[in-house]
Amino acid sequence: MRVRTVCLGKTGIEVPQNAFGALPIQRISTEDAVSLLRKAYEGGMRFFDTARAYSDSEEKVGKAFEGMRDKVFIASKTMASDSEKFVKDLDTSLKNLKTDYLDIYQLHCAPKCFNEEDGIYQSLLEAKRQGKVRHIGITAHKIGVAEEIVASGLYETLQFPFSYLASDRDIELVRSCKDHGMGFIAMKGLSGGLLNNSRACMAFMSLFDALPIWGIQRQSELDEWLSFFEKETEMTDELRAVIEKDRKELLGEFCRGCGYCMPCAADITINQCARMSQMIRRAPSENWLTDHWQKEMMKIENCIGCGVCKTRCPYELDIPALLKKNLKDYKEILAGKEI
C-alpha cells in the first residue's frame, strides 16, 4: 500500500490518508451509493464522513456498512444550535447509520468556537460520556474561527477547507493542530472542483498530517482515488509546477462552490455562476456554454442586490460583485473572446 497512514491527533484513530466524503452520494440512488461505499472499503478506504445536513447520505452509509461497523470509522455532524436539537440529530444519525456510536461527532460549520459555557458543547461532552460519541470535533470555514478552536483545546478534531491553494495561514493552522494534538480533517481538497489534477492534490496532502475526505459520487472518481493505494504519491518537480501554475491562476477571491449562500431570491445558481470564469477554463468549455448555462448566467442580470448571499458566505466573499464579474467574462466569451 502506497498511501501513508495518518493519526487524528489524540483520538488515536489511524487510517490511510485517503478518505471518503459522503456529501455527493445524496445525489445518487441508494443502490449506487451502497455499491460505491463498499468498493471504497474494499479498495482500502477506512474513514467515511457524512452529516445530518446531507439529506439521505447517512442512511446510505448505514446500509453499506451494516454488520461491519468495527471495520470502519464513521464521522457525522450536526448543525444544531441548542441541546434539544442536538439530541434529536444525534439519535437520528445513530439510527440512520445503524450503529450505537459515532467515532467522531462534529459541530457543523461552526460560526464561533463553542466553549464550556455553551449548551451545545456540554451536549457533546454528555454524548461522549454516554458512549454515543467516541470523540468530539468541529468544522469551520473561517480561518479566524478555526484558529480560536485550535487554541481552545476543547476539541479533538478540526475539519477545515485545505488544498494546494492554501494560504500560509491555512498551512500554519494545520501545523498548529499537530502541535496541539488535534486531528485535522481536510475538506474541499479539490477547492470545490476547481482543481483537476488528483496526483497533485494527493501529493500535496502527503506533506501534512491531514486526512483528506474526497467528495465522491461516481465510480470513475472512486477509481482515481483508489489508484493511489497502488502508486507513489510523493511530491515531484512536475507536480510542483502544476501546483504553482494553478496557484497563479486561481489564488485570490474565488467561490468554492459550497452552496451555503443558497437559495437565491432571484433564483441564481450562485455556487456555479459565481465561479464560471474558472470552471469554463478548467473543464471542457462546451459543458458550460450550453443553452441551460447561458440562461442560468443571464439570471445574474436579475440580481436585486439584497446581500443575503454575502451574509451566508463562510468565506465572506462579495458575491454580488463576483457574479457580475463572472457574467461580464461569460458574455465576452460568448462574443468570441478566446478562453
- Contact at 8 Å (CB) between 275 and 254? yes
Cα-based torsion angle of the residue sequence 92, 70, 19, 174 in order, rounded to the nearest 10 degrees: 90
Q: Given CA atoms 39, 43, 44, 50 in this order, what sign does their dihedral have?
A: negative
- Contact at 8 Å (CB) between 91 and 105? no
Which residue(s) pair with 21 in the sheet?
Answer: 49, 215
- Contact at 8 Å (CB) between 75 and 104? yes
**For this structure, is 101 an active site residue?**
no
Phi, psi (5° rounding) for residue 30?
Answer: -60, -45
Q: Which of 41, 54, 105, 315 does the annotation list as catalytic?
A: 54
- Please state, in angstroms and rounded to a whole number, the distance separating the CA atoms of residues 39 and 116: 41
Q: Which amino acid is at 221?
A: E
Q: Which residue has the cell 445518487?
A: 28
Residues known to be catalytic: 54
